[in-house]
Amino acid sequence: MKSLKLFFLAALCLVSMAATAQNQPQKPQTKAQMNAQKLGTVLYLIENFYVDTTNMDKVTEDAIVAALKELDPHSAYISKKDVEKANEPLVGSFEGIGVTFQLIRDTITVISPVAGGPSEKVGIMAGDQFIKIDGEECFGKKVDNEYVQKHLRGKKGTKVTVSVKRGNSPELIDFEITRDKIPVNSINASYMLDNHVGYIKLDRFAQESTQEFKQAFTKLQAQGMESLIFDLRGNTGGYLNTAIELVDQFITEDKLIVFTEGTHSPRQEWRSTKAGLYTIGKLVVLIDEGSASASEILSGAIQDHDRGVVIGRRSFGKGLVQRPFNLPDGSQMRLTTSRYHTPSGRCIQRPYENGADDYAKEMKKRLEHGEYYHADSIHFPDSLKFKTDGGRTVYGGGGIMPDIFIPVDTAYNSKLYTNLVRKGALNRYTTDYGLKHRDALKAQYGDFEHFNKDFTVGKDLIDGLKAAAKEAKVEWNDEQFAHSEKFILLQMKALIARNVWDTQQYYQVMASVDPGIQKAMEVLGNEKEYKRLLKVK
């Protein structure tokens, strides 16, 4: 069965070659041509002789998906209709009306219009609820994220009419919005943690990420930044070129950044240039089990060149290079063609010989083995030992092991907190509260800095959360609340700040209890310890 699946894939790529060969003087066929011809025959026989009517497009696509699954965990097929959507987060923009929204009680609720976007230009405001789109009611169980995208996104220049409920007014307000290109930023936050340490959180390695980084870095430098924390936790990767460009900002000229190799792909190297913005100052890179691919290229290069301290937990271990191949119908195959290696020679990719199902359970295994809580639960064989420029020992075998291990915060561990998040009670309640009290909070505190300093989550908000928990059928447990209380209250404050101001303010509030950030601040504030970790004088 496995070989049949692989034959289907070969047929799609080579059937035209086989057909051409039949019209030329007979030559011995290659194995690939024979397989292509064989599969072309199979598809023909299914379409013309199978007992029931078949959807040959689906048969073909299912065969491709099954074949790629047999190869490795990251080769993938993307249908024609999904190609644009798959590329969107990395390209850095999409076309639509430009709002950040949430579905609150099956209603599209505007959290904030994108600054300068089409919705802001016509007067859409935070807190507005969309009741109709082009005259059709747009609330209730039929409304999900896919529904919203289908009805509100669209080609630049096209128009959509929305009927909005604002505040307590019973009258709906109609707006005609002309869709336009909407920027998708890849930097979630950039701000000063104190007078000397700057913080930048990168969500993904997108097309515009390097330019965004330069702007954020320049802004922080103007505010007196002397050291930088670069947060890649949860960053699943993106464009290789962007990763290379960002590493280039941190290391000096003509140093190896990354190299790739594969059976059919000769070794290819990328080296640094003279363009770096920040090649001298102190640097910490934060990673965790969600940091993958491009995040591992960057953190691996920083570690191998002893350029900065890597803090967190072992990264995901995704070091396979996918090359996109466009298929005749507009669909796309992303085929693994080589592997990433860090400058010291470490292969980033973790093993996948036991199949896709076993590979998918890797994070669960790490949890069961205690890796999220204890660094000594991770063991590397000596055969995977490598050396950094300064002679420090680092290990291959999948993922980047940080220089300083940070366990998962046990405040996450209560069943109450997990259920409040999983069933949406925490997010829904804080969103409701933020939208309802936005004007009052801004009037009372003036700006975020005063809010962050003076606002506290009191008994009235806790009671409100209890009511939201009851509505969501989350059983309230006082003992579990006491265990996670500090974290839950800060989460509430951070989520309210996000809904009143912006996403960055969420991260600013949470920084005070973020173990990774706190450890990074400690290391950056201790010159002797920083140098000891990097073995520099």
Whole-number Å distance between alpha carbons of 273 and 279: 11
Q: Which helix (H) or strand (E) holds 482?
A: helix 478-500
Residues of the chain falling short of pLDDT 70: 1-26, 87-93, 115
92 in Cβ contact with 184 (< 8 Å)? yes
Is 377 marked active-site?
Answer: no
Number of other residues whose CB lies within 10 A of the CB of residue 456: 7
pLDDT for the residue numbered 376: 72
Whole-number Å distance between alpha carbons of 423 and 444: 31
What backbone phi and psi angles, to 5 degrees, belong to 120? -65, -35
CA separation (Å) from 105 to 108, 140, 326, 431? 9, 8, 41, 11
What backbone phi and psi angles, to 5 degrees, belong to 236? -85, 0
Which of 304, 403, 432, 514 is the catalytic position? 304
Whole-number Å distance between alpha carbons of 477 and 458: 18
Q: Which residues contact 447 (CB under 8 A, 6 or more apart)?
A: none
Number of other residues whose CB lies within 10 A of the CB of residue 217: 19
To 5 degrees, how large is the angle CA 151–CA 189–CA 237? 70
Q: How buried is 299 (Cβ within 10 angstroms: 0-12 exposed, 13-18 middle, 19+ buried)?
A: buried
Is 484 marked active-site?
Answer: no
Closest CA to 295 of 383, 205, 388: 205
Closest CA to 225 of 236, 235, 233, 217: 217
284 in Cβ contact with 311 (< 8 Å)? yes
At how many degrees (to 10) do helices 2-22 and 56-71 cross? 120
Closest CA to 148 of 100, 211, 212, 80: 100
Q: Which helix (H) or strand (E) holds 528?
A: helix 527-534
Q: In this structure, is the dihedral angle defined by the CA atoms of residues 147, 152, 157 and 160, taken in order, positive or negative?
A: positive
Q: In this structure, is the dihedral angle defined by the CA atoms of residues 352, 354, 357 and 362, taken in order, positive or negative?
A: negative
DSSP per residue, 347-408? B-PPP-TT-HHHHHTHHHHHHHTTTTT-GGG----GGGEEE-TTS-EEE-SSS---SEE-PP
Pairing of the two strands 385-387 and 282-287: unpaired
pLDDT for the residue numbered 357: 78
Whole-number Å distance between alpha carbons of 272 and 252: 7
pLDDT for the residue numbered 149: 84
3-state helix, strand and coil shares in percent for the chain, rounded to the nearest 5: 45, 20, 35
Is 209 marked active-site?
Answer: no
pLDDT for the residue numbered 111: 76
pLDDT for the residue numbered 92: 56
Which of 227, 293, 331, 414 is the catalytic position? 293
Q: Which residues of 40-74 are buried (b: 16+ CB within 10 A; e: fewer)?
A: bebbeeeeeeeeeeeeeeebbbebbbbbbbebbbb
Tens digit of each residue's pLDDT (9 = 90 or more) over 508-536: 999 999 999 999 999 999 999 999 999 88
pLDDT for the residue numbered 436: 86
Give this prediction's pTM.
0.82
Q: Which residues contact 528 (CB under 8 A, 6 or more apart)?
A: none
Number of other residues whose CB lies within 10 A of the CB of residue 177: 22
pLDDT for the residue numbered 4: 45
Which of 201, 255, 318, 519 is the catalytic position? 318
